[in-house]
Structure 1
Amino acid sequence: MTRSARLGSARVAWRHSLRFRLALVYTLVALALVSVIGLGVMTLLLRSMDQQFQTRLEERADTLAEAFLAGRQGLGKSPGGTGTYTMIVGEDGQVLAATPSLRQYEKTPFPFTGQAVVELNGSPARTATRKLGDFGTLWVALPEDALLDARQSATSALLLALLVTPVLMLIVGWWVGRRALADLGEAADLADRIDPTRSVATLPLPAREDEVHRLLAALNRLLVRIEAVQAREKQLLGQIVHELGAPLTVLKASLARASERTGDPEVLRAALVADELTFTTQDLMQLARGQLEMKVAWHFIPAATLRGRLDRLVPGTTFTGNWNGMLLCDPDRLTQALRNLLANARRAAGPAGTVVLQLEESDQYVCFTVRDSGPGLPAELGDRIFEPFVSGSGSSGLGLSVARQIAVLHGGTLTASNASGGGAQFVLTLPGAALGDEEEGLEESQETLNSTS
């Protein structure tokens, strides 16, 4: 998966984003507050409405009782207005008189004795009574339709608020979080594009000196310290390699002369170890300098010359393909890259295993394929096997990283996989078009030199 694909999948995972979590927390807090406050306000409102209704009922009962006792108003024309039910109950429990809507109860026993709420004409009504001296009792009922409608309206409003508030709060919280964290998101995108192997850039700071500003400023200070540490590490590594270079050169030359004089197998083995150390120091030097400082010196050489170098450096390699052509490359760098691949292959295959280097050439490409009979590449490493100090065969982990850098500097690629027949397979491909152009240029230069001479 490429970096852009990883970034795209990270942006899709909105459920794990800080903006979403902040918006969700903001929504839950708002929902809790609305629920508590809404329930409290609705309880107080309904209680107040209930008290007002009860007060209205009591006042209407008092008014009707006073009017009856004073003889100023007749039953059924109460000063409390329409919508009130009244009956006069005698001492013997018989209904003496009633409002027109309750005429059916006159001259019958009173049916609602001891009931605070009764059902009248399909609606609940709350009742109150007043003594009328020796005459009897005044019974008053007031319908609760308005009170029930108010309760239902308040409940519906609260439920609507509980449903709408989370949606609105989530949208508002997401929008506010997006604006508040915009600088942090841009800084994260920029940080993902920073290549620590080239240079460590600082992150832009927002204009507001808030928590995001403090965080990015702290990250910038950390990046500066990282860059300073990397510079010191590269400087120290370069000094170490430089100190090792001169003794290794002398040792390598001495062993070469000794092997030519004596032919002792132990001396030959020591010379190979010296070669191994020399290439390791070259890898370390390349790591210390970085890819940008590696230069390519182009030469037009026979492929057989490259084969001879590699055969001497990694004995036991089987060469296949066409090695009779010419190659346009940096011989030292290409030898270093292929030698690293062959050394890793030999290390994985063991002394009794096989290592094969195949050369294929066309007008479009020059392809070197290294195969071994070892156990193959660990599946969990993947493309990380080309990172520095990552190894699947017990080596230093520098050879493959340097080999890929050399391939890239030549305009080519280096890939790794497991061969179908077992073992690992590395394919180093160089562009063939540049080779053809350079070859024609060299031929033209040679013809010019010949005509001049």
Structure 2
Amino acid sequence: MTPAARPVTPPDGSRRAALLVPGGGLVSARVAWRHSLRFRLALTYSLLALVLILLTSLGVVTLLLSRMDQQFTDRLNERADTLAEAFTGVQRGLGRTAGSASAYTMLIDAEGVVYATSPILREFNDAPFPFGTQGQVTVQDTSVRAVQRPVGDFGTLWVGLPEVDLIAARQSALSALLLALIVAPLLLLLTGWWVGRRALSGLEHAANLADRIDPTRSLATLPLPAQEDEVHRLLTAINRLLVRIEDGQAREKQLLGQIVHELGAPLTVLKASLQRAEERTNDPEVQRASLVADELTFTTQDLMQLARGELEMKLAWHYIPARTLRGRVDRLVPGTTFEGDWTGGILCDPDRLTQALRNLTANARRAAGTDGTVTVTLTETPEWLTFTVRDSGPGLPPELGEQIFQPFVSGAGSSGLGLSVSRQIALMHGGTLTGENHPEGGALFTLAIPGAALGDDSDEPDEVEETDLLNEPPLPARS
């Protein structure tokens, strides 16, 4: 019988499994906007464009204002020349008025007294000329730019032109420049973001596909975009790398399989010989050698598990008494203390679960030493069976963290395969395996698997054989 299918949540409340999808793949995570490549590209593009726009706009506005100022000066000089010619040329308008009612003109005699003005400047008539040689003055709260021309016997002609229109045009140009400097960065940032998103869409799609690649399965190449640009070259290089990785993994698995196969037959003969010698002589040295043979057997099984991979491991489910599992672990790792309630039953693959617990307790015994303690505690809830393995050793190296569950990573001088295989077995049972340091010292590993869900469901007609409940599966665990 197989366990009832149902969603499970680890008993420690961990959300680590939320990153996994059925089949072992990883859920692709979105990159934070502030770390996004397209955001950085858009921001860089916007800043560069803003600097260019600022420099260009300043140049254009400066040139525009300079031209306007030059046109204003030319217009003033033209008016002054025209009026001066009218006063000095007898044939060209002697006695012609000095301008319209809004004109700014004054005639100044040799003594510096104004004796004739346009109507708007009537207040300065018969008074000393107040402006001297100033080229820009204020008349009746109006900024006026002025020039002077000699007009023969008439004295000096002073001509002014109000700068109201010029000032308004200058303010309008500066306001437009300021508005452009405020609006342009926002438009450039949005445009850059959109362009970057379109340009990098192929790379983002490839990243999402790469996130879903399961390294324990056959690696798949990434689809290439139609346009042969930098993204196409990058994905092509990644595909070549994936092919090399897959070839390397295949060779490693083949080599491991050959090694295990070559070691399997001699170890089987050696174990059988040591067991017969132990039964005949009861010699402690023979018993120690038999334990070493068991250690080598389980190491070869770990290597075979690594070579086969998770997908090739098949579980043979049986419902066994918990005391049977305890007896197997006790014989494999002598000196282990068992606590908790071991009177119930466990639905599992006995060989694989024995292998996982044996790896945990063997590592604990290695860390605690011959004089230390290793304690295995079983607690049961309606949903979970939880095994905790605690030792009195120095604890887990804090710098390793989750790396201790990776193959060939070890903090205690072992092969580094046991914890990796044990976690793999726990995951195949639908459970979890975590490790931490106990507050009172030593390492603490927690292996949790779903509890048995046995019932009389009509859609599961297979029944558990009585021999599965009472008889002990062969020991040690099969490869």
Q: 1:247 Cα shift?
A: 2.1
CA RMSD of aligned residues (A): 2.8
* Other-structure match for 2:368: 349
Structure 2 residue identity aligned to 1:413: T
Flag the 1:133–1:8 CA change in 2: closer, same or farther, 3 A: farther
* Other-structure match for 2:325: 306
User: What does 1:136-175 correspond to in 2, within 5 Å?
Assistant: 136-175=155-194
Indicate yes or no: 2:463 matched with 1:441.
yes
TM-score (norm 2): 0.85
Q: 1:345 Cα shift?
A: 1.1
Mean alpha-carbon deviation: is it higher for 376-385 or for 232-241?
Answer: 376-385
Q: 1:200 Cα shift?
A: 1.3
Deviations 1:57-88 (A, max 9, x none): 1110111112223463756552xx55431111
Structure 2 residue identity aligned to 1:343: A
Which one of 253, 264, 279 corresponds to residue 245 of structure 1? Answer: 264
Q: Secondary structure at the match of 1:352?
A: coil
**8 Å Cα contact 2:347-2:451 kept in structure 1:** no
Flag the 1:195–1:91 CA change in 2: closer, same or farther, 3 A: same
CA distance in 1, matches of 2:330, 2:27: 47
Which one of 208, 212, 218 corresponds to residue 199 of structure 1? Answer: 218
* Other-structure match for 1:33: 52
Structure 2 residue identity aligned to 1:394: G
* Other-structure match for 1:184: 203
**8 Å Cα contact 1:83-1:143 kept in structure 2:** no
* Other-structure match for 1:233: 252
* Other-structure match for 2:65: 46
* Other-structure match for 1:93: 112
* Other-structure match for 1:124: 143
Mean alpha-carbon deviation: is it higher for 139-148 or for 267-276?
Answer: 267-276
Flag the 1:157–1:62 CA change in 2: closer, same or farther, 3 A: same
Q: 1:292 Cα shift?
A: 1.0
CA distance in 1, matches of 2:325, 2:467: 24
CA distance in 1, matches of 2:335, 2:16: 38
User: What does 1:281-360 correspond to in 2, within 5 Å?
Assistant: 281-360=300-379
Flag the 1:74–1:376 CA change in 2: closer, same or farther, 3 A: farther
CA distance in 1, matches of 2:45, 2:147: 49
Deviations 1:102-133 (A, max 9, x none): 22222222222211111111122111112111
Structure 1 residue identity aligned to 2:224: L
CA distance in 2, matches of 1:215, 1:47: 52
CA distance in 2, matches of 1:367, 1:139: 106
Structure 1 residue identity aligned to 2:234: L
Flag the 1:399–1:377 CA change in 2: closer, same or farther, 3 A: same
Q: Secondary structure at the match of 1:134?
A: helix
* Other-structure match for 1:449: none
Which one of 230, 237, 245 corresponds to residue 211 of structure 1? Answer: 230
Q: 1:37 Cα shift?
A: 0.9
- Can you give the 5+ residue segments of structure 1 that lack an aligned partner in the other structure? 447-453
* Other-structure match for 1:223: 242
Which one of 71, 77, 93 corresponds to residue 58 of structure 1? Answer: 77
Which one of 265, 276, 280 corresponds to residue 257 of structure 1? Answer: 276
Q: 1:364 Cα shift?
A: 4.4
Q: Secondary structure at the match of 1:195?
A: coil
**8 Å Cα contact 2:325-2:350 kept in structure 1:** yes
**8 Å Cα contact 2:102-2:120 kept in structure 1:** no
* Other-structure match for 2:7: none
TM-score (norm 1): 0.89
Deviations 1:273-304 (A, max 9, x none): 22111111110110000011112233454444
Flag the 1:83–1:188 CA change in 2: closer, same or farther, 3 A: farther
Mean alpha-carbon deviation: is it higher for 26-35 or for 297-306?
Answer: 297-306
CA distance in 1, matches of 2:284, 2:96: 135
Deviations 1:6-64 (A, max 9, x none): 99996362112111111111111111111111111111111111111111011101111
Flag the 1:282–1:113 CA change in 2: closer, same or farther, 3 A: same
Flag the 1:35–1:41 CA change in 2: closer, same or farther, 3 A: same
Q: 1:433 Cα shift?
A: 3.0
**8 Å Cα contact 2:27-2:212 kept in structure 1:** no
CA distance in 2, matches of 1:21, 1:182: 15
**8 Å Cα contact 2:423-2:433 kept in structure 1:** yes
**Paired residues, number:** 444
**8 Å Cα contact 1:75-1:98 kept in structure 2:** no
CA distance in 2, matches of 1:439, 1:378: 49
* Other-structure match for 1:391: 410
**8 Å Cα contact 2:112-2:129 kept in structure 1:** yes
Flag the 1:136–1:322 CA change in 2: closer, same or farther, 3 A: closer
Structure 1 residue identity aligned to 2:417: L
CA distance in 2, matches of 1:417, 1:291: 24
**8 Å Cα contact 2:384-2:449 kept in structure 1:** yes
* Other-structure match for 2:5: none
Q: 1:4 Cα shift?
A: 6.4
- Can you give the 5+ residue segments of structure 2 that lack an aligned partner in the other structure? 1-14, 21-25, 469-479
* Other-structure match for 1:115: 134
Mean alpha-carbon deviation: is it higher for 264-273 or for 122-131?
Answer: 264-273
Which one of 270, 274, 295 corresponds to residue 289 of structure 2? Answer: 270
Higher helix share: 1
Q: Secondary structure at the match of 2:441?
A: coil
Which one of 87, 100, 120 corresponds to residue 68 of structure 1? Answer: 87
CA distance in 1, matches of 2:266, 2:285: 20
Structure 2 residue identity aligned to 1:243: E
Flag the 1:65–1:45 CA change in 2: closer, same or farther, 3 A: same
Q: Secondary structure at the match of 2:30?
A: helix
Q: 1 or 2 for the larger relative contact order (CA 8 Å, sep ≥6)? A: 2
Structure 1 residue identity aligned to 2:156: T
Flag the 1:9–1:31 CA change in 2: closer, same or farther, 3 A: farther
Deviations 1:373-393 (A, max 9, x none): 223334454444322223333
Share of identical aligned residues, percent?
A: 68
* Other-structure match for 2:421: 402
Mean alpha-carbon deviation: is it higher for 316-325 or for 226-235?
Answer: 316-325
CA distance in 2, matches of 1:118, 1:61: 16
Q: Secondary structure at the match of 2:126?
A: coil
CA distance in 2, matches of 1:347, 1:253: 25
Mean alpha-carbon deviation: is it higher for 220-229 or for 81-90?
Answer: 81-90
